[in-house]
Amino acid sequence: MQRNNSSGRRTARGLTACLVVAGALVVGCGSDDKGGSSGGSGSSSGGGGGGKNYKLTLIAGVKGDEFYITMNCGAQAEAKKLGVTLDFQGPDQFDASLQTPIVNAVTAKKPDAILIAPTDAKAMYAPIKQAADQGIKVVLVDTTLEQSDLAVSQIASDNPGGGRAAAKALAKVMGGTGKVFVNNTKPGISTTDQRAQGFEAEAKNLKLDYIGQQYNQDQPDKAAAITKSVLTKYPDLKGIFATNLFGAEGAAAGLRETGNKDVKIVGFDAGPKQVKDLQDGLLQALVAQKPADIGAQGVQQAVAALKGQPTKPKIGTGSTILTKDNLSQNQDAVYKSGC
């Protein structure tokens, strides 16, 4: 999953000109979002009910990733429904060194709540804790932290289960035997680590020949290079599991460049590029998450916490296995490139 996180929270009192007093609506003056690859507007406002206009910021793992764009779409829709303001920020790469200054900048603006997909389970703890220590409600969406008790709620897919489902799907298209490999992102990312672990356990359970994993640093070009390198070392390779959309994109590109039509690929996530590769036969299956649902529930939990209402510590969301044959019946599972 994943790129650069910046966010726009509650601005300082000196920026009160950004408030439209008549409607108690906040116009997104505090946003650092420049649009473009973010997909959807940087902020959403709703004035229903005449209650307090809470200011929330969603900090993605990667701003230009269709997974997070779709999450933002779901979160924006829920924010509008609940009459709160939501800003969207994110790093250009899934990197803690890029996400940290965004979290710090958002914290300085003192929003009411932050929804965040931490880019590292350890490295992002300190900056997120700083926000929580200032009374900002924190909701972890998609990824998590090793010490997650600072969050009022965690919402994520069943990533180990998704990895196991990927192994089963890959075994099916491979005919039940053969060497399999994992094209992973980076170590220390809770979601992709869990997917790889789930895949490895189920692959071994299914008696597939698991030959390990390599990390592509969340870059399609590196994922393609890794795929070609592994094929050189293991010419009898039969299957690849890519733990996110960039890995799937790169693995498909690597096979295309080598002309290999025998290796099967199952990817995680269902962005437009991955769906096109599925239709073209470069990918055999996709594990599609429900990012819009994660975003919507993240907003719900943040608002509940702000109102002093009960929250759910952990919420799991499901997934759908997409194939070329069932794609037309599951179009709602395809990620968006814009709201």
Distance CA 29, CA 98 (A): 23
pLDDT recorded at residue 86 = 98
Greater model confidence, 252 or 35: 252
CB 62 within 8 A of CB 92: yes
Kindly state the greatest CA–CA separation across the chain.
Answer: 68
Closest residue by Cα to residue 117 from 2, 288, 284, 242: 2
Sequential DSSP letters for 133-200: HTT-EEEEESS--SS-TT-SEEEEE-HHHHHHHHHHHHHHHHTS-SEEEEEE--TT-HHHHHHHHHHH
- For residue 44, the model assigns a pLDDT of 45
Which residues make beta-bridge pairs with 88? Answer: 58
Comparing CA positions, the residue from 335, 149, 322 lying closest to residue 246 is 335
- ∠ CA 188-73-269, nearest 5°, is 45
Instruction: With cut-offs at 50, 70 and 90, classify the pLDDT of residue 77.
Output: very high
149: phi then psi, degrees, rounded to nearest 5: -70, -10
Percentage of the chain beyond pLDDT 70 is 85
| pLDDT confidence of residue 211 | 97
Beta bridge partners of 266: 241, 285
Q: Residue 318: which pLDDT band, with cuts at 50, 70 and 90? A: confident
Coil, helix or strand at residue 239 = strand
Structure tokens at 105: 């900048």
Q: Within a 13 Å sphere around the CA of 338, how many CA atoms are in the beta-carbon half? A: 5
pLDDT in tens, 219-228: 999 999 999 9
